[in-house]
Homo-oligomer: A and B are copies of this chain.
């Protein structure tokens, strides 16, 4: 099954599925600022566009662009700023 998810009044949309390795989503964010909470470890890759990420315990936003990856631990919140429409891949495992 392919789940269609919407967050922040549709400003972030994702498609989710669960493979043998675990849950994965592909998604798109509209320009904006968001705060996400994690329930599992996440590995996010920016596919096109750019995300500025403030991780827990981080002191400043860091930029991630085409093909760059960052990891977020479980059970935390992190902040995201997108200045462009940005697509991403997120692996939950």
Contacts and interface: CB of A to CB of B under 8 A. Distances in A.
Contacts of A4: 4, 13
A47 B26 contact: yes
Total copies of the chain: 2
Given A10-B2, A85-B2, A48 B91 contact: yes
B2 A13 contact: yes
Contacts of A17: 28, 85, 87
A24 B6 CA distance: 18
Interface of A: 1-2, 4, 10, 13-15, 17-20, 24, 26-28, 30, 47-49, 84-85, 87, 89, 91
5 contacts: A2-B85, A19-B48, A19-B85, A47-B89, A87-B89
